[in-house]
Every structure is written in C-alpha cells, then in structure tokens.
Amino acid sequence: MPAPQERDIDKTALLLKLWFVESQGLPDDISINIKGGPENTGFSNETLTFKVKYSNGKSEGYVIRFSPTGYKVFPDYDIKKQYQLMAFLKQQHITVPEVVAYEGDESILDSSFYLMRECSGEAPSDNPPFHQEGWVFDATPDVRSSLWRNWLDEMIKVHKIEANQSSIEFLNRPHLAANHLDQELAYYYKFHDWAMDGEDHPIADSAREFLKHNKPITDNNNSRIVWGDCRLANVMYTRNGELSAALDWEMAILGDPCLDLAWGIAIDDCNSLGLNIPKLPGFMSTEDTIAYWEKHSGFSAANYDYFYTLALYKFTVIMIKVVKKLEYYEIMPTGLGAHINNHASGMLAKHMESK
C-alpha cells in the first residue's frame, strides 16, 4: 500500500524545475509533469514519478525518492546509502535503475532526495497481493516460473559480488555490533522496542527470545551484500517475465546472503498463506527454491530456518509501524489491535509453534 501523498504537487514541480535548471544545467524552458507515486506497493518511503519535457517535444522519465518527513515506519532512513549502493551495483552489472543525482540540501524540497531514471516494466502487486489478482494472477504458469527464476538469478548476481570492497563499507554498522548478524539483530530489537513504545507484543517478544538463544555462529568473512527487501514485488518485469529492474535497496546490509533467500520466501508466504490465499501454480516450491539458490550461488542455506524465523520477526516488527501509520492517517480505524495481530504476526505465531 502506498504512503499517503502529502506534498503539494504543483509546488514540487516548480521547485524541481528550478533545481534541474540551477544544479543540472537544463534549459529554463523545460516543464515538469508529475504523474504520482507507486500505486500498489511501498509504505516506508515517499516516491514520485515524473517527466521532464523539453521545448523540442522530447521528454525523459524520472523517479524521485525522498527521505521521509512524515510519519516514519523505520526508525532511520538513509537515502544517501540507497543512492551510493545503486550506483555501485550498476557498475557491477546488476539490473538497477540508473541513479542520476543525490541532493542532500533539505531546504530545496523539504527533504534530501535522489533521482533515478524511470524503468520500463511493472512490479507484481502487494496490494492486492499478486497471488489474488492482477497481471501476475492472469499470467500463465510459465511466465510465473520465469518471474521467480529471474528474481532468484538477480539475487544470486548480487550475492556473488565480493563484499570486501571499501566502496561498500557504508553498509557496515559497527556502532551496533562487530558481527554482521549481531548488527541486524540489534537493529531490529531496538526497532521492536521503539515501535511498541512500552507495550507488550507476545508473539514478537517470544520470537525475539528464540532468536537470542538460537543464534548461529557466523563469520563476517563470509558476508556479502544483502539486498534486504529482496522479494518478487520489488522487481519490475516485462509481461513475459523478463526482469527489467531490481528495486528498493533501503534495507540493504552486509551479512549472510541466505538472509535474502529467507526474506523473499517468508514475505511471499505471508502475502499468500498468511492471508489464506492459495499460491499460484508456476512458482517454485520452497524446497526447490532453496536447492536452486544453493546450486547456482555456491552458498549454503544451512541457517535457512533461523533466517526464516528472523524474516518473519522483522516483518512483524515492521508491520507494527505500518499499521500505526495507517491509523495515524485514518486509513484504518484505531483500537483493532492490528499492529499486533495481522498476517505477518499470524505467520510468525504459526511458525513458532513448531519450535
């Protein structure tokens, strides 16, 4: 579900035009036509798509992503990190949108932001879930098989990038812990406390204790770039299933690449089985997905079950703030307890029953 649009679109278009003319050297007779934000996915960020039109009739499509200024889902949001990572990944031949510029001066548009080229294709929908309706639902099983396999292949390309390069040191978080897995755990434990603001969350609280007492031994030397929010709905495709852009790097970290595998499967489970929606034919089973990833990446999924539990826990924690944001903007009524009881926490509770 997209974040509510709070910006004055006409004012934003005017300020963007001034920024393009003054900082990018574009002619002052350009016009900016803002089309809007993503319709079927995204709630943690503020994103707009627009066209720059020239006097000769030509136009260029852009996407602008802002550092959030309203009600925040994540406790912090490093927009510059996303820009830097996408620029690096483009050099590594990962299919990310081309980033054009980063602007750290918040006075220009009331927030820091970065620009990227608009990409062709369409992402599978989160809302409604693509297992329920939409172009993926209407696609053939062969196309769905291509969607899943191409997502896995792009993920594997990311994981094969050597992580010991100084150019990606900004993904490291030594202020949280020395070990990369400990960094991620510490971040979400603090996120959990911040999101609940003193209130108990029995399901998430129980999962946190499990994660603390069953943590596998991991070595930073085996870390790679972890996409973070690595899932089918964060990829743009052509209608025949070819991948055209890998999106949303806001949760990127350094760590065990199996974290991405577990996250992608866990979120797909929540957005289908967690909502009592049958999975569509054509997608790989969990077992086949894990086997494919291990075979083609060369990495081990030995800690998959722990990372799957962690993925469900992280999604449950994120959903606390997503629901609270929906309530804040009066999209959802308060008092339902949906920040605690939802499809993510339901899947986590069911999973924890087997522990």
Residue 28, token pair as written in the block: 């002052």
**169-186 per-residue burial string, b: 16 or more CB within 10 A, e: under 16:** eebbeeebeebbbbbbbe
> In angstroms, rounded to a whole number, what is the distance separating the alpha carbons of residues 116 and 107?
20
> In angstroms, rounded to a whole number, what is the distance separating the alpha carbons of residues 222 and 323?
36
pLDDT at 1: 43
Average pLDDT of span 195-200:
98
Q: Is 25 helix (H, G, I), strand (E, B) or coil?
A: coil
- Residue 24 — pLDDT band, cuts 50, 70, 90? very high
Omega of the bond prior to 128 within 30 degrees of 0, cis? yes
> In angstroms, rounded to a whole number, what is the distance separating the alpha carbons of residues 203 and 313?
9
Bridge partners (DSSP) of residue 101 are 115
- Residue 41 — pLDDT band, cuts 50, 70, 90? very low
Q: Where are the domains of the chain?
A: 9-117, 135-352
Contacts for 52-61: CB closer than 8 Å, 24+ residues apart: 52/20, 52/26, 54/27, 54/29, 54/30, 55/27, 55/29, 55/30, 59/33, 60/117, 61/117, 61/118
Residue 309 CA from chain centroid, whole number:
18
Pick the CATH number of 9-117 from 3.40.50.720, 3.30.70.360, 3.30.200.20, 3.40.50.2300: 3.30.200.20
In the predicted structure, residue 202 carries a pLDDT above the cut 70: yes
| Per-residue pLDDT reduced to its tens digit, 282-327 | 999 999 999 999 999 999 999 999 999 999 999 999 999 999 999 9
Pairing of strands 243-246, 235-237: antiparallel
Range with lowest mean pLDDT among 4-8, 71-75, 77-81, 188-192: 4-8
> In angstroms, rounded to a whole number, what is the distance separating the alpha carbons of residues 298 and 56?
51
Residue 347, token pair as written in the block: 């899947």
| Per-residue pLDDT reduced to its tens digit, 49-66 | 999 999 999 999 999 999
- Residue 259 — pLDDT band, cuts 50, 70, 90? very high
Residue 240, token pair as written in the block: 């025949």
- The residue with tokens 């129980």 is 206
What region does 171 belong to: left with phi over 0, alpha with psi -120 to 50, or beta? alpha
What does the H/E/C string look like for 110-156? CCCEEEEECCCCECCCCCCCCCCCCHHHHCCHHHHHHHHHHHHHHHH
Q: Which residue blocks in the chain are alpha helix, DSSP H?
A: 9-23, 79-91, 135-138, 141-159, 180-196, 202-213, 258-270, 286-297, 304-328, 343-352
CA distances from 36 to 71, 127, 283, 341 (A): 19, 17, 31, 31
CATH fold of the domain at 135-352 = Aminoglycoside 3'-phosphotransferase; Chain: A, domain 2 (3.90.1200)
Residue 47, token pair as written in the block: 């994103």
- Sign of the C-alpha dihedral computed for residues 161, 170, 221 and 251 taken in this order: negative
> In angstroms, rounded to a whole number, what is the distance separating the alpha carbons of residues 277 and 194?
32
Q: Is 350 helix (H, G, I), strand (E, B) or coil?
A: helix
Residue 184, token pair as written in the block: 């991620």
- Residue 355 — pLDDT band, cuts 50, 70, 90? confident
